[in-house]
Amino acid sequence: MLSQSLMIALSDEGFLSLIKSGVNIRTSWFTFRSCLDLWKEEAQSSTKSDFNKIATSTHFTSGVSLGAGGFNLMLSLFPAKLLKVIEFVGFSASREVGLRVLYEGCESGGLRSPLCKLMALGYHLVAGSFLELDHIDIGAAEIILESLLKQFPTGALILYFQGKLFESKKQPTEAIEAFEKAIGSKLQWQQLHHICYWELAWCHSFNLNWEGTAKYADLLLKENK
């Protein structure tokens, strides 16, 4: 329901469709929040109910962590005035809770554990690099990234985050190598390649390599819309 609602919200299908998607997103949020509350209650209970058996499943844990943690984290990025309106209609947003729940999903080893890790990396390494955010933890990002690299050593998105980590540590040469590996992977995802071109242009400029900077800026000028 959530994925479908987001697609409708991002498309241009009229005001009524936007309202409908908003209601569905709200329903999804309350469902995730209910699962999270029940999960916590059952975890503290000494009796083994049917829900308790489900709640102890690593796949269930990772799914609830991704939904509830992602909701809290993304909503917390909204401007303060808009956040008050969102909270008024029933949503809640806590950056601290969002990160804590996401970390639980990262450690669960469930089906959606890698997605929890990617979302946490996106917050620490991407959003944190151009927004004035708190709770940015490069050390935590490094630990999460290390575990992903063991699972997916040639993953394009993982290598992109590795490049962003090197950038945050002021190591442009190592970042260039990671971004070039991401571009050279078998994943034909042009948008990701263009994001890497942008980062490579900046990394080469940090190294005072203006020829390299011009190369990737020219590629973006020709290929990107």
CATH number at residue 206: 1.25.40
Q: Diameter of the chain by CA atoms?
A: 67
pLDDT at 46: 52
Q: Please state, in angstroms and rounded to a whole number, the distance separating the CA atoms of residues 147 and 161.
A: 12
DSSP state of 153: T
State the Cα angle at 89 between 86 and 93, rounded to 5°. Answer: 40
pTM over 0.85: no
Residue ranges in the chain whose pLDDT is less than 50: 1-12, 15, 18
Same domain, 167 and 107: no
pLDDT at 7: 44
Q: Count other Cβ atoms within 10 Å, centred on residue 15.
A: 7
- Convert the pLDDT of each residue in 143-191 to its tens digit: 999 999 999 999 999 999 999 999 999 999 999 999 999 998 877 788 9
Which pair of tokens denotes residue 193?
């390649």
Closest C-alpha to 38, from 59, 54, 24:
54
Q: Find the domain containing 78 and state its range.
A: 58-151
Where is the domain boundary, 151, 183, 200? 151
pLDDT at 18: 47
Same domain, 82 and 158: no
Where is the domain boundary, 36, 56, 76? 56
Same domain, 158 and 218: yes
